[in-house]
Amino acid sequence: MHFDVIVIGAGAAGMMCATQAGARGRRVLLLDHAEKLGERIRISGGGRCNFTNRSVSADNYLSQNPHFCRSALARFSQWDFIAMLEKRGIPYHEREHGQLFCDESAADIVDMLKDACDAVGVRWAMPCAVGEIRQLTDAGQNGARFTVDSEKGHFSATSLVVATGGLAIPKIGATPFGYRLAEQFGLAVIPPKPALVPLALAPEVLEPIKPLAGATLDAIAEFGTARFRENVLITHRGLSGPAILQISSYWQMQEYQAGKKAPLQIDLLPGIDAAAWLAEHWQSRMLLPNLLAQQLPRRFAHEWCALLGGERWLKRPLSELGKRDLEQAACALQGWELMPAGTLGFAKAEVTLGGVATDALSSKTMEAKQVPGLYFVGEVVDVTGWLGGYNFQWAWSSGWVAGQFA
């Protein structure tokens, strides 16, 4: 019951790590409590898995240490993962913003990783609930440094790799296991928060924009220096759509700072100088909502004017609106401020912000600096990618790196 390497969590990062450690001749056991293998890969990207992105850099990730991910991303890059797929003959295609998806099914990737594990003799214990983990003070003759109690027996290992992911979508098996284990070994954990998540608006903010629910806009969502131009969707609970999911991760970073929270801004007219455009029409007999309907959905333009300017903006032609009205409208069009009340939580989040503090880990190996033989890979670590294949790339890269050393 002794293994060179025990990997806990047979998701993207865990399977990648197991294939690599196995290929080095290490005896590897992969443990997972789930019934189904790689469920998060299988359901991702609408069943097609957005497995990586053509353009990946540390700038696409959020972390308390934004440089931490550099080394792993460089050592096992998007091109290395693409080469794996091509070798296996998995067809894929590119969508906007360099996102790469399987042509047929995300299950192709699960099968590829499962076969790669089997080819190097990885042993599986799944489904298998994992219990107590202990560090041995004196390494045994076989080099055992850790013991793992589980439903399928009592195991020991020289290296222990924790690849248990984050907290998003608890109903498919997400648990705080990795964070608890890190704390057990004295590693700091940056409090996990939902990220890439729809934002909720407070009832008093939501009520007046409720008539806008269902509207989809090509807009720029901004928070601090982060800006994303994609669709923004107004929902009956708040804001969603890719631009909002992207900006939500940055908005959530405020949770780690003391002080008053700031709102986010939405530029409703990306690429247009709203002040100049409105000024061109200041003598027009047209109504403001009708002018805005040239650039925005008609219903949205109407409700937005009602919300921000009331009867005045709805009923008076532009020529009768004063300079201040037009300035105010231009300002709000280019930076509509909305203060989220929070997020829709882990149940609706795609990933987790925060996790095992990177200070405690080596960026070259993913090993805990103070606990030889203990590794953390994938989403459990405080590295969170943008929407667009970046989170899987982090899972592949960090899992691959740990697999060279564990």
Secondary structure element (H or E) that encloses residue 20, with its range? helix 12-23
Q: Hey, is 153 helix, strand or coil? A: strand
Nearer to ligand FDA, 292 or 349 (CB): 349
Q: How far is the CB of 12 from ligand FDA (least distance, A)?
A: 4
Q: How far is the CB of 311 from ligand FDA (least distance, A)?
A: 44
Nearer to ligand FDA, 30 or 326 (CB): 30
Token output for 100: 């790469």
CA distance 147 to 144: 8
Nearer to ligand FDA, 290 or 362 (CB): 362
Secondary structure element (H or E) that encloses residue 42, with its range? helix 39-43
Secondary structure element (H or E) that encloses residue 150, with its range? strand 146-150
| Bridge partner list, 240 | 233
Q: How far is the CB of 79 from ligand FDA (least distance, A)?
A: 16
Nearer to ligand FDA, 340 or 355 (CB): 355
Q: How far is the CB of 324 from ligand FDA (least distance, A)?
A: 46
| Bridge partner list, 203 | none
Positions touching ligand FDA (CB under 6 A) are: 8-14, 32-34, 40, 43-45, 49-50, 130, 163-165, 168-169, 173, 175, 177, 350-351, 378-380, 389-392, 395
Contact 336, 300 (CB under 8 A): no
Nearer to ligand FDA, 189 or 266 (CB): 189
Nearer to ligand FDA, 53 or 334 (CB): 53
Query: Closest Cα to residue 391, out of 358, 348, 349, 362?
Result: 349
User: To the nearest 5 percent, what fractions of the chain are helix, strand and coil?
Assistant: 40, 25, 35
Token output for 297: 């959905």
Q: How far is the CB of 49 from ligand FDA (least distance, A)?
A: 6
Contact 4, 100 (CB under 8 A): no
Nearest residue to ligand FDA by CB is: 11
Burial-class residue 342 by CB neighbours within 10 Å (0-12, 13-18, 19+): middle
Nearer to ligand FDA, 158 or 164 (CB): 164
Q: How far is the CB of 268 from ligand FDA (least distance, A)?
A: 28
Nearer to ligand FDA, 102 or 239 (CB): 102
Residues ≥6 apart with Cβ < 8 Å to 92: 51, 82, 85, 100, 101, 102, 103
User: What are the φ and ψ backbone dihedral angles of 76, each rounded to 5 degrees?
Assistant: -130, 95
Nearer to ligand FDA, 43 or 188 (CB): 43
CA distance 101 to 95: 8
For the chain, give me the number of helices (H) and strands (E)? 13, 21
Q: How far is the CB of 334 from ligand FDA (least distance, A)?
A: 31
Q: How far is the CB of 174 from ligand FDA (least distance, A)?
A: 6
CA distance 93 to 134: 45
Contact 193, 353 (CB under 8 A): yes
Q: How far is the CB of 100 from ligand FDA (least distance, A)?
A: 10
Token output for 203: 């009832």
Nearer to ligand FDA, 131 or 208 (CB): 131
Q: How far is the CB of 89 from ligand FDA (least distance, A)?
A: 21
